[in-house]
Chain A
Amino acid sequence: MSLILESDYDIRYSRAEDLEFLKQWMADPQTHMWYPPSSEKDVRQFVQNWIGFSKYRASITAIYQNQPIGIATVFLMPYLKVAHLCMMYIVVAPKWRRRGVGGSLLKNVKHLAKTRFRLESMHIEVWEGCPIIELSKRYGFEEIFTQEDFVHMDGKSYSRIVLETKL
């Protein structure tokens, strides 16, 4: 497996129809274990909420040969007092991982949050062991707190880790 050049794929604003790809990727057990929903019904609601931010142009999709291969989204906050920051969600299609797509999405979603929405900071919330932790650290995210025993999955307990970067 090798890196693909950024010039090989495009990054565009996400569209409502990208929902189907999010759903497909979430059907992969190695993907959805890192996200809150478990059941199919939960996944449906979760991805609908996620792609809902596309109507504010707060979400970007990486496209390779006309197919979405990853999505990163600025989850805008609902209240004025917290409108200076955001949470971010990212996912890369299982077969496109470890090829630079996630890094490219991260770099672009940070730029989007800073320039389009004038946000001051961005944070992500993940479970211990999630590959996004190492990736995000390479793009300036730092751990700000950990909460033990936040997730119970397959008889194991995982900590919640919140990482943040200034924009």
Chain B
Amino acid sequence: MIEQSRIQIRVLAESDKPYLSQILMDPEALRWLPMTNLLEVEEAMKVWFLFARQKSAYVVEIDGKPAGMAVLYVQNYEKLGHQCLFAIVVDRDYRGQGMGTALMRHIMREAKETFGIKLLHLEVYEGNPAYRLYERLGFVEFGRHPKFLKDSDGVYHTKVLMQKRL
């Protein structure tokens, strides 16, 4: 486990792009994401930077170096504003060392206290080891979308949906 004093979480900044791109382009990260190539990763990053403008996208740093990110897709639609989907990615070199937990706790706090979110939910592909982290933090599975993802080998993967009341 990494000492808490070495971990810092802040809002995502434009200058994080190269690090973020590097983390996302890791084949082990891409395996669990809907994106396939740099073009798609850059499109996804554009969306995350839009959320960074309203301070709902974050970077976790270790010793000042970005090691993961998370985004709360805060809804501007009034009737949907009490609930929020989020996404999180941690650099493979720092997995299993408490970074994901620290980032998750941060976004759960931000969702509740800054954005008034009452229901936080996520989408994860079946088999992703992060499922256990979400369970440990109180997220409960509520649905599955079979054959949601189809990889380049033509193999289908189920999308699993989980949520937690804040």
User: A residues engaging B (CB < 8 A)?
Assistant: 36-39, 42, 78-85, 120-121, 123, 144-153, 162, 164
User: Which residue of chain B is the closest to A46 with respect to CB atoms?
Assistant: B77
CA distance A32 to B37 in the complex (A): 37
User: B residues engaging A (CB < 8 A)?
Assistant: 34-37, 40, 43, 75-83, 118-119, 121, 142-152, 161, 163
Q: A144-B144, A145-B142, A147-B161 are in contact. Are A38 and B34 (CB under 8 A)?
A: no
**Chain B interface, >50% SS class:** mixed
How near does chain A come to B7, taking the closest CB pair, in angstroms? Answer: 31
Which residues of A have CB within 8 Å of B76? Answer: 42
A162 touches B77 (CB 8 A): no
User: Which residue of chain B is the closest to A153 with respect to CB atoms?
Assistant: B79
Q: A78-B40, A79-B40, A145-B145 are in contact. Are A38 and B150 (CB under 8 A)?
A: no
A80 touches B40 (CB 8 A): yes
User: Which residue of chain B is the closest to A39 with respect to CB atoms?
Assistant: B78
Contact partner of B145 (CB less than 8 A), chosen from A79, A81, A144, A146, is A144
Which residues of A have CB within 8 Å of B118? Answer: 149
User: Which residue of chain B is the closest to A144 with respect to CB atoms?
Assistant: B145
CA distance A123 to B78 in the complex (A): 24
Contact partner of A81 (CB less than 8 A), chosen from B34, B78, B79, B163, is B34
Q: A85-B148, A145-B145, A162-B143 are in contact. Are A150 and B77 (CB under 8 A)?
A: no
B147 touches A121 (CB 8 A): yes
CA distance A84 to B145 in the complex (A): 14
Which residues of A have CB within 8 Å of B119? Answer: 149-150
B143 touches A144 (CB 8 A): yes
A78 touches B43 (CB 8 A): yes
How near does chain B come to A6, taking the closest CB pair, in angstroms? Answer: 32
Which residues of B have CB within 8 Å of A83? Answer: 150
B121 touches A147 (CB 8 A): yes
CA distance A162 to B118 in the complex (A): 21
B79 touches A151 (CB 8 A): yes
How near does chain B come to A73, taking the closest CB pair, in angstroms? Answer: 19
Which residues of B have CB within 8 Å of A39? Answer: 78
Given contacts A85-B147, A145-B144, 12 further A-B contacts (CB under 8 A): A36-B77, A36-B79, A38-B78, A81-B35, A120-B147, A144-B144, A146-B143, A147-B161, A151-B80, A152-B81, A152-B82, A162-B145
How near does chain A come to B60, taking the closest CB pair, in angstroms? Answer: 24
CA distance A36 to B34 in the complex (A): 24
CA distance A123 to B146 in the complex (A): 12
B149 touches A150 (CB 8 A): no
B83 touches A150 (CB 8 A): yes
Q: Which 10 A-B pairs have the closest CB atoms?
A: A145-B143, A38-B78, A79-B34, A36-B77, A80-B36, A153-B79, A84-B150, A81-B149, A79-B40, A151-B79
CA distance A150 to B75 in the complex (A): 12
How near does chain A come to B158, taking the closest CB pair, in angstroms? Answer: 10
B121 touches A36 (CB 8 A): no
Which residues of B have CB within 8 Å of A80? Answer: 36-37, 40, 152
CA distance A148 to B77 in the complex (A): 18
